[in-house]
Structure 1
Amino acid sequence: MISGMSAVQWAEQLTAVERAGKDQLYSTRQTQFDSQLDAYKLLESSLDKMTADLEALGDDAFNAKSGSISDESIAKVTIGPDAPAGNYKLEVSQLAQASQVTASFASEDALLPTSGVFEIDVNGDKLTIDFATMNAGGTATVEGLRDYINKNAADMGVQASLMRKGDGTVELLLTSTETGAANQIAVTQDDNAFGFTDLVVGQDAKFKLNGIDITSSTNFVEDVIDGVSLELMETHEPGKSSTISVDYDTESTMDAVKDFVNSYNKLMSEITGLTQSLGSSVGVESSIGNDDEDSDKEDEKQIEEDQLGVLKGDASLRMLKGSLQNVLFTASDNGMRLSDVGIELDRNGKLTIDDDKLEKALKSDSASVEKMFTSDNGYLNRLDEVMDPFTKRDGFIDMKKDNIDSRIERLEDDIASHNYRMQQTYERYLAQFTAMEGYISSMSNSAGLFY
């Protein structure tokens, strides 16, 4: 022991003192690089979200339609963007139904004949059953006939099943898997007739739309009018009708506009916070109004306290921010500005929306609002052009991330070399102090010889 400490303790303490400076330097750099990389990934995510919201605010957002029917028990209505706005009178007189025929048997174990021919015909597709072949052994039953039909008639749209009546007798039901008059099941039999009769006659759906007679083989009528599909569920009482209303889906369009504004505000908040100078004050919340408090809270969570200013030296991000703001200050090629539809820049550079003004603009002149956003020189294309150098593959963001990754790799190499050198330093100190301990011990032992 030297001064109460072992050689190991001396070596550890001296090595710790020697390595402390670079350990702190490397730790600071590692934290800085990690924070910068996380910041660029955050911006990349926000840029991708804004790009997606710009695409969603394209033509389809302004062509969105909504529809309703005055009596939802009669039909379900599906509306697409091609549907012409207006009201349509619907009168359903008949629903489509599938054909079903039946024959009675004493039991499901009743034996089938060993001769004769039995043929099922659905819309020209036929299944011919020759009992001399099918029941050559004379042991086939009604249950076996059901299974034989299901195995061989599936492709022609017929399903066989047994209905047990409780007294031992059964009904063999043949049901068409498709509705419509054309899919009526026809059964042809010879002298060994089973006596099949119609239980349900296959028929088409019949209805009128604005007084025009329409027939459908199914109750699902697609594009009866461009963009309008129906699922018929009930018939009307004589003299009754329902009204189908188709209108522009203003609410859906407004939601798309709000998504764009939210993503813009979030991106601006992040750029401002990540590039701010030390000592400055900046808010990182979106500002659309009370309806978007959840978005505000989400934005606040995106930028941590230690991330503020982490990209303050990146001039390209300040250029991006300024270019995006310049686009919003410039009118679209039809002369309209965002302020004309209730979208304003507040004193913090955030977009706000006047819902009433936006809704009024969409309802009074949706075409002009659409052109303001989607024309060749509209807001969407110009914003996308500004962001493209940052969002494209091998663009600014990718280059920044790759550069930081390279710096992290070099730093890790430096740390590994530093650790190796410090291990050698420790071993040198340990050897020196171990030798010193041995020398001191030897001297102590020699001194003892004189007493």
Structure 2
Amino acid sequence: MDPSSMAQMLTSADRAPLEGLLRTQHNQLSTEKEAYSQIKNKLQALQDAIKGLNENGGLSSQSATFSSEGYATATVKAGAANADYQLYVKQLAKADQYSLALDENWTLPTQGTLDITVDGQTLSLDLSTLDSASGLTGLRDAISKAADNNGVQASLVRSGGQTHLMLTGSKTGASQAMTIKLSGGNVDAGFTQLQTAITNKTQLASAQDAVIELGGAGGLQLASSTNNFDGQIDGLNLTVSKAHAQDEFGNYTDAPLSLSVSTDQTAIEESLKGIVDAYNSLVGEVQKHTQSKEGSKAVLAGDSMARGLLGRLRGTLSNPPAGVSLAELGIKTDRYGKLSLDTAAMAKLQQNKPGALEQAFTGENGLLTRLEADVKPYLDRNGTLVQRDRSLQSGLDRITDRQEALDNRMNKVYQRYLGQFTRMQTLAQQMQQTMTMF
């Protein structure tokens, strides 16, 4: 008899049922953890697709194109009508800019008040409070740092042996015209020189609105204090960047700029296809792990979380914004819960109700906005799927601890069996030796 073999055999018999149970539990938890990991990846892909669409300007159902580049750009918003426009950019918006020429060694006057008024607001600077030795640099800094600075930018430019104090309005538009006034001085040299510079100031740029002529030369004039025209044409945000050339009589020398706003059906389909594909992939993943087949039980067949996730998303999809159905939006659902695009229905809605498609999907109460809100609680740092993963990992860790405890206990059992069989073998050998004496 081999005591070691006998002890190993009995220990294995004791270990087998307990170890089998731990192995079964470990496999179940591992399979569940992997299943939820795959579902989480698909759900993350859906969230990324929705975020990507929103970050790229939303559902691009309409586009604006120009006949020539360089004059303007346009962003199409909800409510824009498909239409063609002819326009000239008559002038760009500008801010006032003046140059005051002074000697490099000019000294600040000991008395006087410098007033710079823009759009009804006045920056009033008491020159007696400044360090006269600081000269032009001190005046520049005092203007820039004044508490009542109304948007005047001050800088120094040196040219031809003189230093020019540049005063520039920080805002464009005709209402931003600047007036500069000096008063209250004692007619010292510094005051006189500054007064002369103001009287002889050079206007480098004149405050003006941006102006476009809609319909061509002599057409409807639209004005804006900036180079941006937002809302003056419904659904369009137009930004101009270059004025059309004019001859000495004010006649345009080029053809008008053509602007065409039209539905971009391909962009609609591409924008939504990524969402639909990501959603269908998630549905397929959940069904794979929750729907049992003949002869095999799905790993998450009895788990309500995965089914609840799909139920939540389907509930949102079945309840589109008021006034439009899912079918009108061009979304069809098959008997397996997967989605497909009906581009003809989308095109019809775009034609009949411009902007309705974007509003239904990406508006404040849009389907994608609500789907993203549905997904968020599952994927947050302490979201439902994250907590489930932690719970399953904790279960696996406990099984690992129990396996280690079982190994330690079985080692003690083995040692006990080994001791017993070793003693039995010794006793048998002693009895055999005794019997040979007779």
Query: Do both share a fold (TM > 0.5)?
Result: yes
1:175 equivalent among 168, 175, 200: 168
Corresponding residue of 2:93: 96
Counterparts in 2 of 1:133 and 1:364: CA distance versus 1, 3 Å: closer
| SS of corresponding position for 1:92 | strand
The 3 A distance-change label for structure 1 pair 391 and 35 is farther
1:111 aligns with 2:94: no
* Post-superposition offset of 1:152: 0.7
- Structure 1 window deviating more from structure 2 (213-222 vs 234-243): it is 234-243
Task: Please tell me whether residue 214 in structure 1 is matched to residue 243 in structure 2.
Answer: no
Residue 434 (structure 1) shift: 7.0
Q: Distance in 1 between matches of 2:181 and 2:331?
A: 73
Residue among 395, 405, 408 paired with 1:423: 408
Identity %: 25
- Aligned residues of 1:160 and 1:173 also touching (Cα < 8 A): yes
Deviations 1:197-228 (A, max 9, x none): 12212111122223222221111222122221
Find the aligned partners of 1:208 and 1:400 in 2 and give their Cα distance.
Answer: 57
Q: 2:206 aligns with which of 201, 204, 208?
A: 201
Distance 1:391 1:234 in 2: 45
Distance 1:169 1:18, change over 3 A: farther
Aligned to 1:152: 146
The aligned amino acid for 1:111 is T
> 1:18-37 maps to which residues of 2 (within 5 A)?
18-37=14-33
1:40/1:401 contact within 8 Å kept: no
| Deviation sequence 1:384-437 (CA, Å, 0-9, x none) | 99xx9x9988xxxx9999899878767765664564354244235446757969
Identify the residue that residue 269 of structure 2 maps to in structure 1. Answer: 254
Q: CA–CA distance in 2 between the matches of 1:185 and 1:315?
A: 70
1:122: which partner in 2? Answer: 118
- In structure 2, do the counterparts of structure 1 residues 271 and 151 end up closer, same or farther at CA, with 3 Å as the change threshold? closer
* 1:271–1:318 CA contact under 8 A, matched in 2: yes
Amino acid at match of 1:77: A
Partner Cα distance (2:402, 2:330) in 1: 62
For 1:283, the equivalent position in structure 2 comes to none
CA contact (8 A) 2:60 2:271 kept: no
- Tell me if the contact between 2:156 and 2:164 (Cα under 8 Å) persists in the aligned partners: yes
Paired residues, what number?
A: 378
Q: Assess if the C-alpha contact under 8 Å between 2:59 and 2:271 holds in 1.
A: no
Corresponding position of 1:266: 281
Unaligned segments of structure 2, at least 5 residues: 246-250, 434-438
Between 1:67-76 and 1:420-429, the stretch displaced more is 420-429
**One-letter amino acid matched to 1:423:** N
Residue 257 of structure 2 corresponds to residue 242 of structure 1 = yes
- Deviation (angstroms), 1:249: 3.2
Match of 1:186 among 156, 179, 185: 179
When residues 350 and 407 of structure 1 are mapped into structure 2, their CA distance, relative to the original with a 3 A threshold, is: closer
Give the deviation of 1:151 after TM superposition.
Answer: 0.8
Residues 14 and 151 of structure 1: is their aligned pair in 2 closer, same or farther, counting only changes over 3 Å?
farther
Q: 1:81 to 1:415 in 2, by over 3 A?
A: same
Quick one: which amino acid aligns to residue 160 of structure 1? A
Aligned counterparts of 1:315 and 1:144: Cα–Cα separation in 2: 74
- In structure 2, the residue matched to 1:224 is 232
Q: 1:178: how far off?
A: 0.5
Kindly provide the amino acid, as one letter, of the partner of residue 224 in structure 2: S
Would you say the 8 A contact 1:64–1:81 is kept in 2?
A: no
Q: Is the 8 A contact 2:98 2:168 kept in 1?
A: yes
| Cα distance, 1:209–1:16 mapped onto 2, change above 3 Å | farther
Gap change, CA 1:184 and 1:15, over 3 Å in 2: farther
Letter in 2 for 1:100: Q
Question: How far did residue 334 of structure 1 move?
Answer: 9.4
Q: Are 2:293 and 1:277 aligned?
A: yes
Letter aligned with residue 238 of structure 2: L
- Can you give the 5+ residue segments of structure 1 that lack an aligned partner in the other structure? 281-307
Inter-CA distance 407–80: structure 2 relative to 1 (3 Å threshold): closer
Q: Give the partner amino acid of 1:205.
A: A
Match of 1:285 in 2: none
Distance 2:113 2:24 in 1: 91
Alpha-carbon distance in structure 2 between the residues aligned to 1:337 and 1:117? 71
Structure 1 residue 128, shift from structure 2 partner: 2.4
Would the aligned equivalents of 2:33 and 2:392 in 1 still touch at CA under 8 Å? no
CA separation in 1, counterparts of 2:351 and 2:47? 22
Equivalent residue number for residue 248 of structure 2: none
Note if contact 2:101-2:162 (Cα within 8 Å) is conserved in structure 1.
Answer: yes
Q: CA deviation at 1:4?
A: 11
Post-superposition Cα deviations, 1:43-91, rounded to whole Å, max 9, x if no partner, equal 466468669989989xx98894321222221111111012222122222
Determine the C-alpha separation between the residues in 1 that align with 2:226 and 2:210. 6
Helix, strand or coil for the counterpart of 1:231?
Answer: strand
Which shifted more, 420-429 or 11-20? 11-20
Shift of 1:158: 0.5
> Does the CA-based 8 Å contact 1:76-1:232 persist in structure 2?
yes
1: CA distance between counterparts of 2:17 and 2:401? 15
- The whole-number CA distance in structure 1 between the counterparts of 2:179 and 2:87 is 33
Separation (CA, whole Å) in 1 of partners of 2:156 and 2:66: 40
Distance 1:139 1:13, change over 3 A: farther
The one-letter code matched in structure 2 to 1:179 is: T
Q: CA separation in 2, counterparts of 1:187 and 1:269?
A: 72
Q: Secondary structure at the match of 2:25?
A: helix
Deviation of 1:126 after TM superposition, in Å, equals 1.6
Structure 2 contact 113–182 (Cα < 8 Å) conserved: yes
Tell me the TM-score normalized by structure 2.
0.66
Change (3 A) 1:94 1:184: same
Instruction: Report the counterpart of residue 303 of structure 1 in structure 2.
Output: none
Name the CA distance, whole Å, in 2 between partners of 1:317 and 1:129. 70
Per-residue CA deviation, residues 132-179 of structure 1 (Å, 9 max, x unaligned), is: 3324xx4221111111111116741011111122x5421110111101
Q: How many angstroms does 1:23 deviate by?
A: 2.7
Structure 1 residues 374-413: aligned runs within 5 Å: none
